[in-house]
Chains A and B, each alone.
Chain A
């Protein structure tokens, strides 16, 4: 069964450093998303991406964040200068169509720890 994959599973970084979280969505999916889950809190939407551009972003997704689909298979989330409060589990998701029709499928997550 096809699945969304994410690397690395755990990333530790120093405050102020740049990190890139990588995702490989399901191959025939056209819509891509990033969510995050701070420990013990609920899952929060960050950004959605379709047709090579951001379609929506939350207030969390400020200028420190960017997303890219550098090739036909990867979807990345970059945090330019990490802060302590960026420590969280980051989930990538993809959907074949809009999520209401098909549902979003999530990767296993990358745990980001900012020291």
Chain B
């Protein structure tokens, strides 16, 4: 069965510093991997995805994520954090399907707090 782990409940980073939000996954086949962001009182917003190809994926708002197959990780990164990046971040995974099943499994979320 597929699963996602986000080991950190909260990450604190000073504004202007690089940030990393960790994610590891477990799937039976090859994964589709996603990052979503949830701002207060808002829905989930798609940031980026990895399907195949280049292990470094670039997404919205200057975020990127690196797929590491040997470590089964898909950490979210940004070179220079902004206060406005403060939000809840969800890593998600989907097995490449053998059928139509299309659900995404979410991690528990990591709250990112950027300190001014």
Bin chain A's interface residue count: 20 to 34
With A106-B36, A107-B43 known as contacts, the answer to whether A56 contacts B107 (CB < 8 A) is: no
8 Å CB interface, A47-103 against B: 48, 50, 55-56, 58, 91, 93, 95, 98-101, 103
Tell me the dominant secondary structure on chain A's binding face. Answer: strand
Q: How far, in angstroms, from A81 to B37 measured CA to CA in the complex?
A: 32
Does the CB pair A99–B43 fall under 8 Å? no
Binary flags per residue of B27-68, CB closer than 8 Å to A gives 1, else 0: 000001010100000111110010100000000000000000
Does the CB pair B46–A105 fall under 8 Å? yes
When C-beta atoms are compared, the residue in chain A nearest to B47 turns out to be A103
Binding site for A on B (CB under 8 A): 32, 34, 36, 42-46, 49, 51, 90, 94, 96-97, 100-109
A-B contacts besides A42-B109, A50-B100, 12 pairs, CB < 8 Å: A31-B102, A41-B108, A42-B106, A44-B106, A45-B104, A55-B100, A55-B101, A91-B44, A95-B102, A98-B97, A100-B51, A101-B51
- CB<8 Å pairs between A and B, sample of 21: A6-B43, A33-B102, A35-B106, A44-B106, A45-B103, A45-B105, A50-B100, A55-B100, A55-B102, A56-B102, A95-B102, A98-B97, A99-B32, A99-B94, A100-B94, A100-B96, A103-B34, A105-B46, A106-B45, A106-B46, A109-B42
